[in-house]
Amino acid sequence: MHPSHRLNILVFILILFIGTGSATAADTRIPGQDQPEETIALPGDMDAAMLREARKVRADLVQKTRSLFERQPLEWDKQTLVDLNRWLLDLPARVSQLTAYIIEHSRILGFTGSLLVLVLLAVILYGIFGQKKLITATELKLAPIREKLPQNVVPFFQSALRIAVAALIPLLLVGGYALVLALLKYTAPWLVFIGRLLWLWVLAALMIGLLRESLTRDLFDTTRLYGRRLFALSRLTVWYIIAGLAIFWGAAAFQIRPDVLALLKSIIALSFVIVLLLLFLQKKAVMSLLPQLPYKSYQWFLNGFERFYIPIMLFSFLIGFLWCAGYQMLGQTVLSKIWFSLGAYLLLMTIYHVLSGKLQSWSGKSDPADEAARLLVRSSKTILLYATIVTTAIIALNMLGLLEPLQQIMSFPVLQLGKSPISLWIIVKAGLILMAFVFAARLMQAYLDYKIYPTLGIDTGLGYALNTFFKYLAYIIGVLISLRVVGIDLRFLLVFAGAIGIGVGLGLQNMAANIFAGFTIIFGQKIRKGDWIEVGQTLGVVIDIYVRATNVRTRDDIEYLVPNADLVNNTIVNYSLSSSLTRISLPVGVSYNADPRQVEKILLAVAEREPLISSRKEPALRFVEYADNSINFELLVWIDIREVARRRVRSNLYFAIFDELKAAGIEIPYPQRDVHIRTQPA
């Protein structure tokens, strides 16, 4: 739609809305009650407001920066190390106490409880060593299902099956553990610790199974070179995490001193950072996992990330060391902004690439002449691109730490609408919401044209009218919601009611008439999109019906914008209102020496051979008159005006008629005058 037409539509919608709103407001006004003053004004102290906001943003940034470098004291000191060393040296002497502890709890559990615990431990050991047998047996039982799947799905099915079976054993053990607890009604710290270990086993089985299947089974092209090396390091990292958590939870279960727990936590976190550093220093292996996508912005990101890979990793792990040293706010803020933003960007671009590829593949399978399918693909790509751009911009600003300061800078009022201050940030949010509604309306129209209307048997004209109604309804809802979401009081629109009413009365009568005529045409169904109409001496097809004017394109590819009021008030010829078949006539004159029956056969045979003439109605021939120099006939044929031009049909028929009459020896006369000369007697 042309931008001027969109502007006219929004102005007209605003007129209707304001007219209704002003009447309602006038009727509901309570005497004696102060009404809110709805005025539009620019803040008088805009420069001062901008300066105050800039100072506020600067102060906030300084405060947040200082808070990043505030070190939180560790919960352990040198005395903790001394005490831990002494405890380790005295550990051999505590064996007798540990034995007595086990005997005491065995007595508390009794024979049945001890037997249940031993059975649970035996099942755990069997699960560890019998996992491969269980996976093999499950694959054999599910072989008939695997044979029915497509070949490209079978590897992923097998991988998912192996991951599920690997996690099945610890999950069953968790169930058995819950049953033991229910039977014993006894919650010793060591028994609770066993339950936590089982849940850790479930987590480890899922993570390691997922890593093994995705990195070592050649499911993806990016893992063929370095997948096994990455799997070895990743598995080591996972087991290190599991072991660290197990040690920490075990110490907590047996009520180790808080400072010792804090020391263990610091040691585990520091060593975990070192293990991750060893993993991520495998530059080629890590870079090989990143997908290669054919987008310039992504290529710039990938090249920059590869160039600064080592500095980024060293900086990240330096921040990790500082986090372990007590600078938790610094580590949490910097690492989350860097890695969460990078991961979100990669995930977003991958999703966009996959969805765009699906749309492209579906578009290639659809009929190129199917306009509804092509419109659906274009609308889907547009809204997908819009969502990707907006989300990527937010991620980039967040990664650079500019999102919150930018929001604060753009939040000072630049306009006052009644009691509602309007800022640049509010305008941006309203624009984004409105654009989302516009793209969603286009997608809905395309889907209705492609899927819903053909299924329900709705013809093209009615479908176009419904689409137009839904489109403008979506625009109105989008405008109202965008204004409401950002907190603007909609009553400020009443300020424009009087001025716009005067404008309509003085200078916008023609535009209002064309708009009402446009709705009459759209919902009256007398002129529809795709109809061939004749306006004056212009014959063309209706390309689109806007609210203010109708776009008509001739066969010479000349487009006319005809005001809708002219179409409603004047006589318009619609060649395809009820049927697109149109009869045209060709006058043909032959010599008086010709046989009329022979001429009839020749002309009808020529008409029947012409492929541009419709076969739904037979051609006809009329003997018109005996003229001065010829006997005249009229050949009547039917054509589909939407597909065939009248001049082209006439040209083809005249060429063929001339050749056939010439071959039959029939003369086509031209005007003749006989001159008789009288001789006067001398």
pLDDT at 575 over 50: yes
- Tokens, residue 537: 């001496």
- CB neighbours (10 Å) of residue 556? 7
∠ CA 638-639-640, nearest 5°, is: 135
640 three-class SS: strand
- The average confidence (pLDDT) of the chain is 75
SS (H, E, C) 56-84: HHHHHHHHHHHHHCCCCCCCCCHHHHHHH
Average the pLDDT over 237-258 and give the result.
Answer: 76
The pLDDT score that the predictor gives to residue 587 is 92
Average the pLDDT over 314-341 and give the result.
Answer: 80
pLDDT at 254 over 70: no
455-510 confidence digits (pLDDT tens): 777 766 667 767 777 777 888 888 877 777 666 665 655 555 555 666 555 556 66
Confidence of residue 347 (pLDDT cuts 50, 70, 90): confident
CB 202 within 8 A of CB 170: yes
pLDDT at 10 over 60: no
d(CA 203, CA 243): 12
**Element at 514 (helix H, strand E):** helix 509-524
Pick the range with the lowest mean pLDDT from 144-153, 339-348, 588-597.
Answer: 144-153
pLDDT at 238 over 70: yes
The pLDDT score that the predictor gives to residue 117 is 57
Domain ranges of the chain: 73-84+98-288, 512-574, 581-663
pLDDT at 36 over 60: no
DSSP string of 535-589, one letter each residue: ETTEEEEEEEE-SSEEEEEETTS-EEEEEHHHHHHS--EETTSS--EEEEEEEEE
The pLDDT score that the predictor gives to residue 6 is 45
The pLDDT score that the predictor gives to residue 462 is 66
pLDDT at 120 over 70: no
CB 200 within 8 A of CB 246: yes
Residue 588 phi, psi dihedral angles, 5° rounding: -135, 130
Smallest CA-to-CA distance from 280 within 255, 251, 323, 312 is with 312
d(CA 603, CA 670): 19
The pLDDT score that the predictor gives to residue 40 is 52
d(CA 355, CA 380): 10
**What is the CATH architecture of 581-663?**
2-Layer Sandwich (3.30)
Greatest Cα pair distance in the chain: 172
d(CA 586, CA 599): 14
622-680 confidence digits (pLDDT tens): 999 998 888 999 999 988 887 888 888 889 999 999 998 888 888 888 766 666 666 66
Average the pLDDT over 352-368 and give the result.
Answer: 82
CA distances from 537 to 175, 572, 573, 603 (A): 85, 11, 10, 30
CATH class of 512-574: mainly beta
Helices marked H in 130-253 — which ranges?
131-141, 143-148, 154-184, 189-216, 227-253
pLDDT at 581 over 80: yes
Pick the range with the lowest mean pLDDT from 20-34, 177-191, 317-331.
Answer: 20-34
The yes-or-no answer to whether 512-574 and 581-663 have a common fold is no
d(CA 38, CA 43): 15
**Which carries the bigger pLDDT value, residue 108 or residue 273?**
273
d(CA 18, CA 39): 15
496-545 confidence digits (pLDDT tens): 555 566 655 555 666 667 666 776 776 666 777 778 888 777 788 888 77
Smallest CA-to-CA distance from 648 within 600, 590, 584, 599 is with 584
Average the pLDDT over 540-563 and give the result.
Answer: 82
**Element at 634 (helix H, strand E):** strand 631-640
Smallest CA-to-CA distance from 344 within 381, 398, 304 is with 398
Tell me whether strands 581-590 and 573-574 are parallel, antiparallel or unpaired: unpaired
**Element at 639 (helix H, strand E):** strand 631-640
pLDDT at 95 over 70: no
d(CA 234, CA 249): 22
pLDDT at 106 over 60: no
**Which carries the bigger pLDDT value, residue 330 or residue 118?**
330
pLDDT at 265 over 70: yes
Average the pLDDT over 553-570 and give the result.
Answer: 81
Smallest CA-to-CA distance from 157 within 177, 174, 138, 175 is with 138
The pLDDT score that the predictor gives to residue 634 is 92
Smallest CA-to-CA distance from 198 within 173, 223, 228 is with 173
Exposed, middle or buried by CB within 10 Å (0-12, 13-18, 19+), for 570?
exposed
Residue 274 identity: I
The winner for highest mean pLDDT among 370-374, 519-523, 588-592 is: 588-592
pLDDT at 47 over 70: no
CB 364 within 8 A of CB 357: no
Measure CA 389 to chain center.
10
d(CA 415, CA 42): 5
Terminal Cα-to-Cα distance of the chain (whole angstroms): 87
Torsion region of 677: left, alpha or beta (phi above 0 gives left; psi -120 to 50 gives alpha): beta
Cβ neighbors of 563 (< 8 A, separation 6 or more) are: 510, 514, 517, 548, 549
d(CA 609, CA 178): 88
Average the pLDDT over 257-278 and give the result.
Answer: 78
CB 155 within 8 A of CB 219: yes
Average the pLDDT over 144-148 and give the result.
Answer: 75
CB 190 within 8 A of CB 252: no
The pLDDT score that the predictor gives to residue 655 is 92
Q: Determine the angle formed by the axes of helices 131-141 and 154-184, rounding to 10 degrees.
A: 120
Which percentage of the chain shows pLDDT scores above 70? 72
Confidence of residue 27 (pLDDT cuts 50, 70, 90): very low
Residue 532 identity: W
**Element at 365 (helix H, strand E):** helix 341-365
CB 273 within 8 A of CB 317: yes
The pLDDT score that the predictor gives to residue 507 is 55
